[in-house]
Amino acid sequence: MTLTKRDLVVRISSETGLVQQQVFDVVQKTLDYIAEALAKGDKVELRNFGVFEIKIRKARVGRNPNAPETDVPIPARAMVKFKAGKEMRADVLKLTPQKLAPQT
């Protein structure tokens, strides 16, 4: 199952009694500020949830699977890295492989 932004808005709205449009505006603005901070290279730390930060992947040489003799240069690039907070990590560790199996 996937939790979407829409699911978050509906759940928060039903629990708080706020209008869905107000909740959507707050959720969207929060995500916008996180993305803006990351785009500037800042670290975003949300206590008990996790930390988003920018890491630079080094340039490397890749291989084309259809032509393995051909080297493909892959340039250095910035990526967003997420490190789960202590509480989230503990909650996720409680999952068993049976709970993670794809549902049909």
Tokens of 62: 């890749």
Asked if 83 contacts 51 with a C-beta cutoff of 8 angstroms, the reply is yes
pLDDT at 16: 95
Q: Model confidence over 28-78: pLDDT tens digits?
A: 999 999 999 999 999 999 998 999 999 999 999 998 888 888 888 999 999
Q: Model confidence over 9-21: pLDDT tens digits?
A: 999 999 999 999 9
Domain borders along the chain are 5-97
- Determine whether 12 is exposed, middle or buried from the number of CB atoms within 10 Å of its CB (0-12, 13-18, 19+): middle
Rg (CA), the chain: 19
CA distance 83 to 68: 34
Answer whether residue 95 shows pLDDT above 80. Answer: yes
pLDDT at 91: 87
pTM: 0.75
In CATH terms, 5-97 corresponds, of 3.30.1130.10, 3.60.110.10, 4.10.520.10, 3.40.50.1820, to 4.10.520.10
